[in-house]
């Protein structure tokens, strides 16, 4: 397979390399945590090759032995999954409408855990991954209608892995996809053209923009194009069709260590020659400072049918409203809160009534335990109430694990391996 190389190099600002706290956890998406991101040994099932055991329901995640508190007042139910992992990612791997878990076991293989909609999971298959393997992204990379998995090393400049799904959550031997350049942070799948395949938007290093690797089928990718961006480097991305043309658009946020007090946010839409993905708007909201590596999220915060953008800053949460047709207001609004930590994780939860949202912010300090806060907007979205969450664990992403169409919150407790728990929106 030919090596993916940039077909076009466009200059960006020349900036120093990011600090050690730069970059976004991609979780997998997680975060990623798979988008979130990142991060093989003892596992949560009965053998090193998978098992028919069903996990969930028996463990608690606080020092007292009680389940963590905080989201139950909003109708969420705490469910310990029994899944122990180095990192996790999420996707509906068996096509039943319920999100499942792909877990990287500590010192061992990747493992698929299929969900039943109650927070219980069955470990069904293992796949040996090349080393290192730091986070995953789910997408249909062979066009057969089910989600495959791409696995990345945060620091490699040589290749990434793609393992194809058999439709029932079992993944084949990984394909090695050569690629030049630094993977950066915020790798995200998207539909960049009108075929059924997911392509990959892959942020690069300083002054190198991002690569758009176009899937050609069977888990392979064509030569990658380089896209410019407003910042020195990307630290988080989000994808959605913001202009209604049926193709995915991308928002990428980043920073420059040398100039920390602004938000370079780049909006990519299909505005280039022949409808190619290209820069449509750059926002420089000098209200900052932004938090290097903080998440960026699409959500309809004002219930007008358009997707807006949110990202944490040291002043509060930036709200960047879509003014129509995928164009965003500049400068952003700032919703202040009293959460004192530096939160980089942001998840948007839907409450019971239509359009009612709440935000969960999470921080992972180097010298103390993770913390998190629940932020609830007032009716006109002008202020946030702040409630610290008890024993929140690390926020690692969200998914629909109970099949009710609303996002559930995923967290990890403990170090390595961590224990996965879910806050299910169905109560």
Q: What residue has token string 């069709």? A: 241
219 HSE (CA, 13 A, CB side):
23
Rounded to whole angstroms, the Cα distance separating 106 from 42 reads 6
Rounded to whole angstroms, the Cα distance separating 120 from 80 reads 8
Q: Could you tell me the pTM of the whole model?
A: 0.84
In this structure, what are the phi and psi dihedrals at residue 15, rounded to the nearest 5 degrees? -140, 160
| Of 408, 34, 35, residue with least CA distance to 239 | 35
pLDDT at 188: 94
pLDDT at 132: 83
Percent of the chain with pLDDT over 90: 49
Span 330-357, average pLDDT: 85
Looking at the predicted structure, is the pLDDT value of residue 335 above 80? yes
Spatial contact of 114 and 169, defined as CB atoms under 8 Å apart: yes
Looking at the predicted structure, is the pLDDT value of residue 398 above 80? yes
Label residue 332 by pLDDT band (50, 70, 90).
confident
| Of 127, 151, 42, 126, residue with least CA distance to 86 | 42
pLDDT in tens, 17-59: 333 333 333 333 333 333 333 222 232 333 333 333 344 443 4
Spatial contact of 198 and 137, defined as CB atoms under 8 Å apart: no
pLDDT in tens, 93-152: 999 999 999 999 999 999 999 999 999 999 999 999 988 899 999 999 999 999 999 998
pLDDT at 173: 95
Spatial contact of 135 and 29, defined as CB atoms under 8 Å apart: yes
pLDDT in tens, 345-377: 999 999 877 678 999 999 887 777 899 999 999
Span 402-413, average pLDDT: 94
| Of 12, 18, 6, 17, residue with least CA distance to 207 | 12
Cα angle 360-366-367, degrees, rounded to a multiple of 5? 110
In terms of average pLDDT, the best of 9-23, 99-113, 221-235, 334-348 is: 99-113
pLDDT at 131: 81
pLDDT at 399: 96
Rounded to whole angstroms, the Cα distance separating 403 from 91 reads 12
**200 bridge partner residues:** 189, 213
HEC states along the chain? CCCECCCCCCCCCCCCCCCCCCCCCEECCCCCCEEEECCCCCCCCCCCCCCCCEECCCCCCCCCCCCCCCHHHHCCEEEEEEEEECEEEEECCCCCCCCEEEEECCCCCEEEEEECCCCCEEEEEEECCCCCCCEEEEECCCCCCCCEEEEECCCCCCEEEEECECCCCCECCCEEEEECCCCCCCCEEECCCCCCCCEEEEECCCCCCEEEECEEECCEECCCEEECCCCCEEEEEEEECCCCCCCCEEEEEEEECCECCCCEEEEEECCCHHHCCEEEEEEECCCCCECCCCCCEEECCCCCCCCEEEEEECCCEEEECEEECCEECCCCEEECCCCCCCCCEEEEEECCCCCCEEEEEEECCCCCCCEEEEEEECCCCCCEEEEECCCCCEEEEEECCCCCCCCEEEEEECCCCEEEEEEECCC
Looking at the predicted structure, is the pLDDT value of residue 160 above 60? yes
Looking at the predicted structure, is the pLDDT value of residue 292 above 80? no
Label residue 179 by pLDDT band (50, 70, 90).
confident
Looking at the predicted structure, is the pLDDT value of residue 217 above 60? yes
Spatial contact of 252 and 210, defined as CB atoms under 8 Å apart: yes
Spatial contact of 288 and 262, defined as CB atoms under 8 Å apart: yes
């Amino acid at each position: 397979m030919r090596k993916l190389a940039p077909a076009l190099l466009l200059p960006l600002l020349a900036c120093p390399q990011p600090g050690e706290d730069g970059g976004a956890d991609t979780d997998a998406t997680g975060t990623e945590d798979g988008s979130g991101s990142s991060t093989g040994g003892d596992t949560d099932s009965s053998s090193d090759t998978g098992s028919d055991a069903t996990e969930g329901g028996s463990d608690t995640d606080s020092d007292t032995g009680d389940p963590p508190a905080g989201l139950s007042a909003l109708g969420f139910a705490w469910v310990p999954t029994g899944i122990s992992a180095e990192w996790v990612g999420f996707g509906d791997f068996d096509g039943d409408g319920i999100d499942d878990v792909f877990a990287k076991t500590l010192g061992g293989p990747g493992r698929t855990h299929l969900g039943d909609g109650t927070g219980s999971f069955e470990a069904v298959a293992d796949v040996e991954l090349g080393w290192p393997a730091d986070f995953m992204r789910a997408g249909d990379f062979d066009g057969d209608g089910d989600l495959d998995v791409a696995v990345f090393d945060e620091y490699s400049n040589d290749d990434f892995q793609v393992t194809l799904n058999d439709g029932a959550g079992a993944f084949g031997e990984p394909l090695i996809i050569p690629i030049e350049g630094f993977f950066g942070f915020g790798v995200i799948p998207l539909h960049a053209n009108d075929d059924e395949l997911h392509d990959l938007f892959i942020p690069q290093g300083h002054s190198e923009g991002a690569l758009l690797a176009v899937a050609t089928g069977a888990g392979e990718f064509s030569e990658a194009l380089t896209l410019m961006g407003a910042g020195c480097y990307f630290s988080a991305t989000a994808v959605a069709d913001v202009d209604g043309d049926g193709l995915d658009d991308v928002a990428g946020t980043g920073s420059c260590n040398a100039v920390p007090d602004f938000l370079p946010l780049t909006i990519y839409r299909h505005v280039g020659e022949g409808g190619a993905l290209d820069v449509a708007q750059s926002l420089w909201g000098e209200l900052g400072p932004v938090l290097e590596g903080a998440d960026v999220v699409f959500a309809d915060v004002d219930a007008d049918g358009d997707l807006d953008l949110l990202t944490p800053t040291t002043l509060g949460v930036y709200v960047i409203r879509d003014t129509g047709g995928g164009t965003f207001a500049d400068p952003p609004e700032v919703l202040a809160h009293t959460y004192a930590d530096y939160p980089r994780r942001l998840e948007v939860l839907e409450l019971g009534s239509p359009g009612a949202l709440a935000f969960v912010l999470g921080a992972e300090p180097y010298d103390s335990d993770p913390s998190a806060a629940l932020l609830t907007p007032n009716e006109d979205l002008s202020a946030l109430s702040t409630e610290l969450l008890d024993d929140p664990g690390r926020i690692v992403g969200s998914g629909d694990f109970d099949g009710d169409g609303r996002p559930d919150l995923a967290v990890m407790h403990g170090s390595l391996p961590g224990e996965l728990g879910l806050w299910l929106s169905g109560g």
